[in-house]
Amino acid sequence: MFQLTCPGKQCVKNDVLSGLTVALALVPEAVAFAFVAGVTPLTGLYAAFMMGIITAIIGGRPGMISGATGAMAVVMVALVAEHGVEYLFAAVLLAGLIQIGAGILRLGKFIRLVPHPVMLGFVNGLAIVIFLAQLKQFQVPDMEGNMEWLSGASLWTMLGLIGLTMAIIHYLPKLTSAIPASLVAIVTITLLVTLFDLDARTVQDVLQDLSGDPNATIAGGLPSFHIPMVPLTLETLHIILPYAVILAGVGLIESLLTMTLIDELTETRGRGNRECIGQGVGNTVNGLFGGMGGCAMIGQSMININSGGRGRLSGIAAALFLLLFILVGSSLIEVIPIAALVGVMFIVVLGTFEWASFRLLGRIPIADTFVGILVAVVTVLTDLAIAVVVGVIVSALVFAWQHAKQMIAEIRTDQYGIKYYHLNGPLFFGSVQNFADLFDPKSDPQEVIVDFANARVFDHSGLEAIDSLAERYMREQKTLHIRHLSQECQNLLVKAGDLVEVNMMEDPVYKVADDRLG
C-alpha cells in the first residue's frame, strides 16, 4: 500500500524540512560525481533528481535517498572516455532493465545472505570512504592548476566553520527538534560567512575548481526526453553490456545494503524486490532523459533519517527541492559554504561508523573479525560491490570449513559382527573428504550399516561421496546398507538417477540400498 507519510502535520513538516536538508547536501556530491564520471554537472544533478523522486515513489524503502553515486561513477569513467556520453546513457538504460528483471525474479531476497560481519565491514568502510571524500574540500588549485592543501587563515576558518556546524547539529536537538539541526547549521553558517565576509570556499568555488570555468553554475532547465544516439547493433550491445551488468550489480548491492541498514535504524522493514524495481525504473528513465544514473546514497539517507525524514514524502521533497535549485535557485545554493556541508557529512561519518565493533574485538570468532576488517579495507581501496562479494565468499568458505569438521561418526559392532556407522553432521562438498576418511572397507566386516539419522546430504558432492563409498565396499565384495535417510535426502538420491540407485528393499545388486524400515 502506498503511504506518502505518517499521519499528522508533524510528519509532513519533518519530511519536507528533512528533504530540504538532503537536497542542499546533494548538490556538491552530484556535481563532484558527474566530473568523476566525465559528464557535465547537470547530468549528475538530473540523475540525482530523477533517481530521488522515482525511488521515493515506487521504491521499497521509505526514507531512503537515491541519487548519483561515486560507486557507479567510477564504473562509468572508462566507457565515457572511450565511447562518449551517449553510450553511457545506453548502458544506464540497460542497467535499469536488468535491475527491473532482478526485482521481477525476486532476487532482492538474496541480500539476506550477507552475513553480519560483512554488514559491519560495509558500514565502517563506507564511513571511511565518506570521510576521505570530504578531505578533497581541504584542497584548492594553485596558480598552475595543481591541487594543494589549505593552510594558514583559510584552513583555520574552514575548521572553525566545520566545528560550529557539527556543534549545532549535536546540541540543537537537546533544545528543540522542531527544525532539522542540519538545516539550521547550513543556514547559520551561510549567514555568518555572508554577513562577516569570511574567507570560506562555497559551492560556486567547487564548481569553478572542478570545471575550470569561472562562470560554472548549476542552473539549467527541465530534463528532456532523449533516446541514446548509438547504433542499434550487436557491437553496441557488446560494448555496453559489461558496463550495464556491473552498474546494475553495484547499484543493487549498495541500495539493498543501505536499505538493510535503515531497516535496523528505524526498526521497520523495507521490501527488497520492490526496491530493485524502483532502482531499475529510475536508471531506465535516466538513460532516456540524459542522466548518469545512480543508486541509494547512505550518507544522504542518514542525513534524512537523522533529520526526522521517515516517509516517502521526504525523498520526493528532496528531489523537488533539488529541481527547484536547478531551475530558479542556483544563485542561493552556490553561496553555501562548503564547510557547512563538510560538517554535516562528518556527523554522518560519526553516525554511520559502528564504534561498537571495537568492543567486539576478542569477543567474536577471529574469522568474523577478519571478514569485517577485510570488507572495510576492500571498500576503501576498491569499491563496495567488490568488497561485499569478497566478504560473502570468504564468509561462505569459513562456514564450509567449520562445518566440514563436524562430519563425525559413532562406530560400534554388534554381537552378529555387523559394523554400524552412526553419522553426525552435514554431508556436502566441504565434508566429503572427512566422510570418506571415516570408513575402512578393507578392515570392515562383511556387513556394514551406515545410519544417517543425524546426518543430511546437501549437494551433488554428497551424492558422489555415497556412490564412491558404495564402490569401495563393492570392490571388497562386502554389503553396504544405508538407513534413516531423510525424505529430502531420498529425493536427492532418486533425482540423481544413475549416480546412486535407491531401493526400498535390501538388494546386494545395488550399490546403495536404502534400508529405511530397519
Q: How far apart are CA 190 and CA 205, in angstroms?
A: 14
Q: What is the pLDDT of residue 490?
A: 64
Same domain, 378 and 482: no
Cβ distance 206 to 30 under 8 Å?
no
Domain enclosing residue 224, as ranges: 9-135+217-332
Q: How many domains does the chain have?
A: 3
190-199: pLDDT as tens digits = 999 999 999 9
Cβ distance 250 to 385 under 8 Å?
yes
Same domain, 398 and 293: no
Same domain, 101 and 243: yes
Same domain, 290 and 380: no
For the ranges 144-158, 407-421, 483-497, which has the lowest average pLDDT? Answer: 483-497
| Assigned domain for 77 exists | yes
404-436: pLDDT as tens digits = 888 999 999 998 899 999 999 999 889 999 999
- Using alpha carbons, list the distances in angstroms from residue 481 to 59, 76, 273, 424, 484: 55, 60, 46, 17, 10
- Using alpha carbons, list the distances in angstroms from residue 107 to 81, 118, 348, 412, 427: 32, 19, 30, 47, 27
Same domain, 226 and 283: yes
Q: What is the pLDDT of residue 406?
A: 86
Q: Mean pLDDT across the stretch 473-488?
A: 81
List, in sequence order, the alpha helices (H) in 176-213: 181-195, 203-211
Query: Long-range contacts: 386-390, Cβ < 8 Å, 24+?
Result: 387/121, 387/122, 387/125, 388/114, 388/118, 388/122, 388/253, 388/257, 389/253
Most confident of 155-159, 461-465, 475-479: 155-159
Q: How far apart are CA 462 and CA 19, in angstroms?
A: 54
Same domain, 99 and 231: yes
| Assigned domain for 229 exists | yes
pLDDT at 143 over 80: no
| Assigned domain for 346 exists | no
Same domain, 393 and 481: no
Q: Quote the percentage of the chain above a pLDDT of 70.
A: 93
Q: How many CB atoms lie within 10 A of CB 461?
A: 15
Same domain, 253 and 301: yes
- Using alpha carbons, list the distances in angstroms from residue 410 to 255, 393, 437, 450, 470: 48, 32, 13, 10, 19
Q: What is the pLDDT of residue 486?
A: 67
| Assigned domain for 96 exists | yes
Structure letter (DSSP) for residue 311: S
Q: How far apart are CA 294 and CA 222, in angstroms?
A: 18
38-86: pLDDT as tens digits = 898 899 999 999 999 999 999 999 999 999 988 888 889 889 999 999 9
Q: What is the pLDDT of residue 188?
A: 95
Confidence of residue 481 (pLDDT cuts 50, 70, 90): confident
Same domain, 122 and 224: yes
| Assigned domain for 210 exists | no
Confidence of residue 487 (pLDDT cuts 50, 70, 90): low
Q: What is the pLDDT of residue 379?
A: 86
Same domain, 281 and 377: no
Q: What is the pLDDT of residue 510?
A: 30
88-102: pLDDT as tens digits = 999 999 999 999 999
| Assigned domain for 391 exists | yes
Q: What is the pLDDT of residue 491?
A: 64
| Assigned domain for 200 exists | no
Mean pLDDT of the chain: 87
Q: Look up the CATH number of the domain holding residue 452.
A: 3.30.750.24
Q: Give 267 or 229, the one with higher predicted confidence.
A: 229
Q: Mean pLDDT across the stretch 435-444?
A: 93
Q: What is the pLDDT of residue 177?
A: 79
* Among 274, 309, 332, residue at a domain's last position: 332
Q: What is the pLDDT of residue 161?
A: 96
Q: Mean pLDDT across the stretch 96-110?
A: 93
* Among 351, 383, 402, residue at a domain's last position: 402
| Assigned domain for 159 exists | no
pLDDT at 509 over 60: no
Q: Mean pLDDT across the stretch 294-312?
A: 91
Same domain, 460 and 489: yes
330-387: pLDDT as tens digits = 988 999 999 999 999 899 889 888 888 888 888 888 999 999 999 999 988 887 778 8
Same domain, 313 and 382: no
* Among 375, 402, 429, residue at a domain's last position: 402
4-47: pLDDT as tens digits = 887 778 889 999 999 999 999 888 888 888 888 889 889 999 99
Q: Give 456 or 438, the one with higher predicted confidence.
A: 438
Q: What is the pLDDT of residue 493?
A: 59
Q: What is the pLDDT of residue 335?
A: 93
- Which residues, in sequence order, are CB contacts of 261 under 8 Å at separation 6+? 119, 122, 123, 298
